[in-house]
Amino acid sequence: MSAPALFQSIVASPKLRLAIGAILSIAGAGAALAAVASQSPWLASSNSKVRLVSGVVELGGKPALLAGVQLRLDKGWKTYWRNPGDSGVPPSFDFAGSTNLEHAEVLYPAPHRFADANGVAIGYDDEVVFPVKLTPERDGEPIELKLAFNYGLCKTLCVPNDVSLGLALPADAAARPGDAALLEAALARVPKPSTAHGLPRIENVAADLDGPQPQILVDAVFAGKATGTDLFIDGGETYVPVPQPLGPVVDGRQRFAVTFSSVKEASAIKGKQLTLTLVSDQGSSETTWTADATSPFQGEGQAGMVPRKTGERSGEQ
């Protein structure tokens, strides 16, 4: 039968037309499912929506499968960093219900400060993607992600949100690019470990935790033309006041002060490892400092205590 004659017979047969239509519909649906397999559907919550994404990005010179928690906020609303500042609550990520997942490490993009009704808060607006490093229990097998995600939103009032998300990653997910571009952009905003000569970096840390005005002074070095410079400190379960800049950047240098309300409040951080996060439009970095350390700061991602000059206070630079 010639091709024109075959076409005419198909057109003339309703059953054939239905069968071919069904086949094409199934194929189209399969293609659509494959296209969105790297994402969960958006889930609407109070003044926001959220979903899980996944993709393959390069980490340490080799491809790695990552997930991401993509949170999109309504205009004017804010959400919080792991240290929320003077008010608010940090987000929590619980992957306990997942299958074939040994560990999930959530990474935090560099935040910014904003004013709220209770003082200064630390966090994000518009949209944030939290990258998640995945370690499966068994390589080469599917991973089923189950996430209980709790986060706070604030505008003129604060609203808690609790959502449950799920995403099935097939056995060959590590061979699919997925949402690689979105995750790479989020990873670029995650502060990098500080190095001795990299920027930005902590230059000096000085602490007086037992005096009448308990305080930590931090001297930071930024790239010469950096803007949006700031310092944030995370003490985990221990409260740390929001650092305040003691002036603008001068020749790439800026000083910050953490002022405690009492000796008791300051004493709570003694012996605790704090994470110091420097942010700017030219990049961000993190280093750690133990509040009772006595060794000089080496600039290799571990800050020690640098003695303060006699009589030095936050207003003196």
What domains appear along the chain, each with residue ranges and CATH number? 43-190 (2.60.40), 193-303 (2.60.40)
What is the C-alpha separation between 292 and 87, in angstroms, rounded?
27
Instruction: Give the mean model confidence (pLDDT) for residues 105-127.
Output: 93
Q: Of 110-114, 251-255, 279-283, 291-295, which range is least confident?
A: 291-295
pLDDT classification of 37: cutoffs 50, 70, 90? low
The DSSP call for residue 183 is H
Q: Is there a contact between 33 and 44 (Cβ–Cβ < 8 Å)?
A: no
Alpha-carbon gap, residue 31 to 13, rounded angstroms:
27
Helix (H) / strand (E) element for 94: namely strand 92-94
Lowest-pLDDT range, 86-90, 99-103, 160-164, 193-197?
Answer: 86-90
Q: Which of 43-47, 106-110, 296-300 has the lowest mean pLDDT?
A: 296-300
Which strands, in side-by-side order, build the sheet including 43-45?
Answer: 43-45, 48-59, 62-73, 127-135, 103-106
Residue 132 carries which side chain, given as an amino acid letter?
V
Query: How far, in Å, are 38, 151, 184 from residue 41 at the CA level?
Result: 10, 18, 21
| Cα–Cα distance, 305 to 302 (Å, whole number) | 10
In one-letter notation, the amino acid at residue 178 is G
Tell me the per-residue pLDDT of 189-241, one tens digit each, with 9 for 90 and over. 999 999 999 999 999 999 999 999 999 999 999 999 999 999 999 999 999 99
Cβ atoms 46, 153 nearer than 8 A: yes
Q: What is the pTM of this model?
A: 0.82
DSSP β-ladder status, 192-193 and 285-290: parallel
Count CB neighbours of 303 within 10 A.
25
**Average pLDDT score over residue span 276-288:** 97
Average pLDDT for 24-45: 59
Rounded distance, CA 131 to CA 219, Å?
A: 30
Q: How far apart are CA 137 and CA 114, in angstroms?
A: 40
| Chain centroid offset of residue 258 CA | 23
Percent share of the chain, pLDDT over 70: 80
Structure tokens at 162: 């609790």
In angstroms, the first-to-last Cα distance of the chain is: 93
Strands 92-94 and 119-125: unpaired
Please report which confidence band the pLDDT of residue 87 belongs to, taking 50, 70 and 90 as the band edges: confident
Peptide linkage before 200 cis (omega within 30 of 0) = yes
**Which residues, including other chains, have CB under 8 Å from residue 165's CB and lie 6 or more apart?**
40, 43, 50, 51, 52, 69, 145, 146, 147, 149
Is-contact 169 99, C-beta < 8 A? no
How big, in percent rounded to 5, are the helix, strand and coil portions of the chain?
15, 45, 40
Q: What's the chain's average pLDDT?
A: 85
pLDDT at 292: 74
Q: What is the pLDDT of residues 118-156, one digit of tens each?
A: 789 999 999 999 999 999 999 999 999 999 999 999 998
Average pLDDT over residues 276-293: 92
Do the strands 253-259 and 244-245 form a parallel or antiparallel pair, or are they unpaired?
Answer: antiparallel
Which is it for strands 158-169 and 143-154: parallel, antiparallel or unpaired? antiparallel
